[in-house]
């Protein structure tokens, strides 16, 4: 498929064997590059977000990264899943606490000769294993707010379900203003040093 820009959501609310929750996100970003999955071209700030899905647990830390990758979509997904597994990610309770989420939110193919950008849509190509764009990304403040924090979110070619990230945020502000207000940037010396 050639070069792609991947928008990847990172999330954690368990430190696991690391010293902090923030360290989980820092290590995940480092592993994207260290494993050869891709090169980070931009990082959002880190955000504190309340848990989603009704399971009682600690707040999450979320961030979004834009990654340039040469891997095929499934290879990139598998690289992200390997990073989750290295953090001892378990899936015991849906929407429950976890050491690490590395979610492929969207993929954009970049034509090397022209720089033309097109949205990669799975359209059943990879079954249930990889669905891009992420089917619920446009509905969740903990995804949209960090994504909108990226400069690439301003690129009108990088749409999500046919609209720009800013338009989805405006829609969420009308329908779920409380949820949007709960996602707040936090200072994270470890994460901020890498930005």
Mind listing the pLDDT tens digit of every residue in the chain (195 residues)? Answer: 689 999 999 999 988 889 999 999 999 999 999 999 999 999 999 999 887 666 667 889 999 999 999 999 999 999 999 999 988 866 555 556 788 999 999 999 999 888 899 999 999 999 999 999 999 999 999 999 999 999 999 999 999 999 999 999 999 999 999 989 999 999 999 999 988
Distance (Å, rounded) from C-alpha 64 to C-alpha 47? Answer: 10
Q: Are 143 and 65 in contact (CB under 8 A)?
A: no
Confidence at residue 160, expressed as pLDDT on a 0 to 100 scale: 94
pLDDT, residue 108, reads: 97
Listed by start position, the domains of the chain span: 3-193
What per-residue confidence (pLDDT) applies to 39?
Answer: 97
Q: Which residues contact 39 (CB under 8 A, 6 or more apart)?
A: 33, 67, 68, 69
Q: Which residues are catalytic?
A: 89, 98, 101, 103
CATH classification number, 3-193, choose in 3.30.70.560, 3.40.50.2300, 3.40.50.150, 3.30.565.10: 3.30.70.560
pLDDT reported for residue 174: 95
Longest pairwise C-alpha distance within the chain: 50
């Amino acid at each position: 498929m050639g070069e792609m820009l991947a928008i990847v959501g990172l999330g954690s609310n368990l430190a696991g064997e690391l010293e902090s929750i923030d360290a989980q996100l820092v290590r995940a970003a480092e592993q994207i590059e260290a494993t050869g999955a891709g090169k980070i071209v931009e990082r959002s700030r880190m955000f504190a977000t309340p848990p989603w899905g009704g399971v009682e647990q600690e707040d999450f830390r979320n961030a979004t990264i834009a990654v340039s990758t040469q891997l095929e979509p499934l290879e990139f997904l598998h690289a992200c899943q390997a990073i989750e597994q290295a953090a001892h990610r378990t899936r015991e309770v849906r929407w429950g606490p976890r050491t690490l989420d590395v979610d492929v939110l969207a993929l954009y193919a970049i034509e090397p000769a022209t720089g033309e950008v097109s949205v990669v849509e799975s359209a059943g190509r990879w079954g249930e294993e990889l669905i891009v764009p992420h089917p619920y990304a446009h509905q969740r403040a903990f995804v949209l707010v960090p994504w909108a924090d990226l400069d690439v979110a301003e690129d009108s070619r990088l749409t999500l379900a046919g609209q720009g990230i800013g338009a989805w945020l405006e829609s969420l502000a009308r329908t779920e203003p409380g949820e949007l207000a709960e996602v707040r940037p936090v200072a994270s010396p470890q994460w901020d040093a890498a930005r």
